[in-house]
Amino acid sequence: MTQTPGAMNASPPAPAAASPERRACLFALEGSRFAVDVRSAREVVLFEEITAVPLAPRYLVGVANLRGTVMPIVDIRALLGLPEPRPARGVRALVVRDGGVQAALVVDTVLGLEPFDDVVPADGPTTARMRGPRPLMAGWIQWAGETLALLDVPKILAALRPSMPAVAEEVSP
Q: Which residues on adjacent β-strands are paired with residue 33?
A: 28
First to last CA, the chain: 67
Local confidence pLDDT in tens for the 173 residues of the chain: 444 444 444 444 444 454 447 899 999 998 899 999 999 999 999 999 999 999 988 889 999 999 999 999 999 988 888 887 766 668 999 999 998 899 999 999 999 999 988 888 766 655 545 565 678 888 889 888 888 999 999 999 988 875 544 444 554 44
Q: Given this model, what pLDDT does residue 121 score?
A: 76
Handedness of CA 131, 91, 154, 18 (dihedral sign): negative
Which long-range contacts link 114-117 to residues 24+ away (Cβ below 8 Å)?
114/23, 114/24, 114/26, 114/35, 114/143, 115/19, 115/20, 115/22, 115/23, 115/24, 116/20, 116/22, 116/23, 116/24, 116/35, 116/141, 116/142, 116/143, 116/150, 117/20, 117/22
For β-strands 146-151 and 32-37, DSSP reports them as parallel
Q: Quote the pTM value.
A: 0.76
Q: Is residue 80 within 8 Å of 136, Cβ to Cβ? A: yes
CA-to-CA distance for 48 and 80, rounded, in angstroms? 25
Integer CA distances (angstroms), 50 to 3, 24, 136, in order: 74, 27, 26
Q: Which residues on adjacent β-strands are paired with residue 103?
A: 96
Which residue ranges form the domains of the chain, and what is each CATH number?
22-166 (2.40.50.180)
